[in-house]
């Protein structure tokens, strides 16, 4: 380890993350990433020995970033309802990317499941980090044992919206469903 401070490594991970999201994991080659970063294929292998290794770095970075963001929200906002609304609003603020490429987390998990890739179990940590945070917010909102189940429900709702908005390339549908989702939140 001790790689965290390596700027080039971070640039590679950022490029890989974007390309995996836009083109898919399998469909993205080392050449694609190397070209995007501006280094040669050979140099690339100095930083990452295998494709799985970079996938692992991409997932790890995303999990960390998600946890960081949610922790920040918990610090900056006191109302759990407001926090969840912020969470739902990600759909709207990323509507262009979502209609073009789907949800970066959902689509990666879907692909890894097809590849029977062992790293699916690491990838779904990107989901469970959200699930656990949402569960906490729902508990603060007064929900009891059912909080976790409701959190999973919300997770699924956002995934469904992303999948359909992507399949139909339909931003209007996405915004409609976000409105619907906020009404649902208000009814809790």
Partner DNA sequence: GTCTATATACGGATAGAC
Partner DNA sequence: GTCTATCCGTATATAGAC
With a CB cutoff of 8 Å and minimum separation 6, the contacts of 138 are 80, 84, 147, 150, 151, 188
Sketch the per residue contact string, 127 through 166, with a copy of itself: x for CB under 8 A, - otherwise.
xx--------------------x--xx-xxxxxxx-xx-x
| Whether the Cβ atoms of residue 96 and residue 21 lie closer than 8 Å to each other | no
Least distance in angstroms from the C-beta of 61 to a copy of itself: 18
- Work out which of 23, 50, 68, 92 binds a copy of itself, going by CB under 8 A: 23
Which of 5-13, 61-69, 78-86, 117-125 is the region at the interface with a copy of itself (rule: CB under 8 A)? Answer: 117-125
Least distance in angstroms from the C-beta of 179 to DNA: 41
- Work out which of 15, 16, 28, 181 binds DNA, going by CB under 7 A: 28
For a copy of itself, the closer CB: 27 or 93: 27
Cα–Cα distance measured from residue 70 to residue 66, given in angstroms and rounded to the nearest whole number: 6
Instruction: Locate 162 and state its tokens.
Output: 């992303």
Q: By CB under 7 A, tell whether 41 contacts DNA.
A: yes
- Residues 150-177 as b or e (16 or more Cβ within 10 Å = b): bbbebbebbbebbbebbeeeeeeebeeb
Q: Residues 46 to 105: which contact DNA by CB under 7 A?
A: 46-47, 49-52
| Rounded to 5°, angle at Cα 38 from 108 and 67 | 35
| Whether the Cβ atoms of residue 88 and residue 181 lie closer than 8 Å to each other | yes
Q: By CB under 7 A, tell whether 115 contacts DNA.
A: no
Task: Enumerate binding residues for a copy of itself (CB under 8 A).
Answer: 22-24, 26-27, 100-102, 106-107, 109-111, 113-116, 120, 123-124, 127-128, 149, 152-153, 155-161, 163-164, 166-168, 173, 176-177, 180
């Amino acid at each position: 380890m001790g790689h965290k401070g390596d700027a080039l490594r971070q640039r590679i991970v950022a490029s890989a993350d974007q390309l995996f999201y836009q083109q898919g994991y399998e469909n993205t080659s080392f050449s694609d990433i190397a070209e995007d970063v501006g280094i040669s294929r050979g140099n690339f292998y100095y930083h990452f020995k295998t494709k799985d290794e970079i996938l692992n770095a991409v997932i790890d970075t995303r999990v960390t970033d998600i946890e960081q963001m949610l922790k920040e929200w918990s610090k900056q906002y006191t109302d759990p309802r407001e926090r969840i609304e912020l969470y739902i609003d990600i759909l709207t603020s990323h509507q262009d990317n979502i209609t073009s490429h789907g949800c970066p987390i959902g689509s990666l998990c879907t692909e890894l499941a097809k590849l029977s890739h062992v790293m699916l179990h690491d990838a779904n940590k990107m989901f469970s980090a959200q699930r656990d945070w949402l569960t906490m917010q729902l508990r603060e909102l007064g929900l009891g044992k059912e909080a976790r189940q409701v959190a999973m429900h919300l997770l699924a709702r956002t995934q469904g919206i992303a999948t359909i908005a992507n399949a139909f390339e339909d931003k209007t549908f996405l915004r409609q469903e976000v409105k619907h989702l906020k009404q649902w939140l208000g009814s809790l």
